[in-house]
A = this chain, B = another copy of it.
Amino acid sequence: MNNRLKVLRAERDWTQADLASALEVSRQTINAIETGKYDPSLPLAFKFARLFQLQIEEIFSDR
């Protein structure tokens, strides 16, 4: 699973910590997801989508 989080953050000039606090998760969670260590849970994927106002599929991709 890869994702566009780094780009979406850059477009907004947000740090990983900024994004983490917007989503109420730890900075390490953001880092781990961004660097592909693991996938977010579905509820967290929904939070990303809501925050960025995008479909989950526009942020995360299966292959």
Contact = CB atoms under 8 A, between A and B. Distances in A.
Interface in A38-63: 39-43, 45-46, 49-50, 55-57, 60, 62
Contact of A1 (B43, B50, B62): B43
A39 B39 contact: no
Stoichiometry (number of copies): 2
Contact of A39 (B1, B41, B57): B41
11 contacts: A1-B42, A1-B46, A39-B42, A42-B42, A42-B45, A42-B56, A42-B60, A45-B56, A49-B57, A55-B57, A56-B56
Interface of A: 1, 39-43, 45-46, 49-50, 55-57, 60, 62
